[in-house]
Amino acid sequence: MHRDIERVLFSEDAIRARVTELGASITEDLSGQDVVLLALLKGSVIFFADLMRSVSSQIRVDFAWVSSYGDRTESRGTVDLKVFPDEDLGGKTVVVVDDILDTGRTLAAVVERLRQDQGVAAVKTCVLLDKAARRVIDLGADYVGFEVDDVFVVGYGLDHADRYRNLPYIGVLKADCYGGDEAS
């Protein structure tokens, strides 16, 4: 365990097993549809890579770069859609894949943009972590890896100031590493 981690919440083995289950559910639920998995960068990249290998039906992949935190531990309250797919997504089922659903602002902004501007047939959402205690927008994910309490989590793609993404597990970051006791 890394010295900055207070405790491990989800081990590498637990994550692997759950991601495999999520991939199987997406495969079964969306069978026969024209599916695009859309990764929200940067946080979902590790989860996304493992998830897409767990989906056994034909899929396409695309990426969006979205930010609402920057180097902060609290959301700025605004969502910056830095890069968004320019491929024609009309008539497709898009599964938006994100690392964590907390306030709901980021996922809501992406879903709204897909529905309004892209003409998609359907939008589904898949998140590795659901932190309902932080929710400010009434939004739930269609596929959830794990529910998590209101603690500051890092690892398996999740970061603080772009660090800790490479940890193979998800752990609680020690408060003295981010200068307070607020959660993210």
Active-site residues: which are they?
Answer: 102
Burial annotation 74-93 (CB, 10 A radius, 16+ → b, else e): ebeeebeeeebeeeebeebb
Closest CA to 111 of 71, 144, 57, 66: 66
C-beta of residue 106 within 8 angstroms of C-beta of residue 138 = no
Distance CA 71, CA 161 (A): 4
CA atoms within 13 A on the CB side of 166: 2
> What would the two tokens of residue 37 be?
């998995």
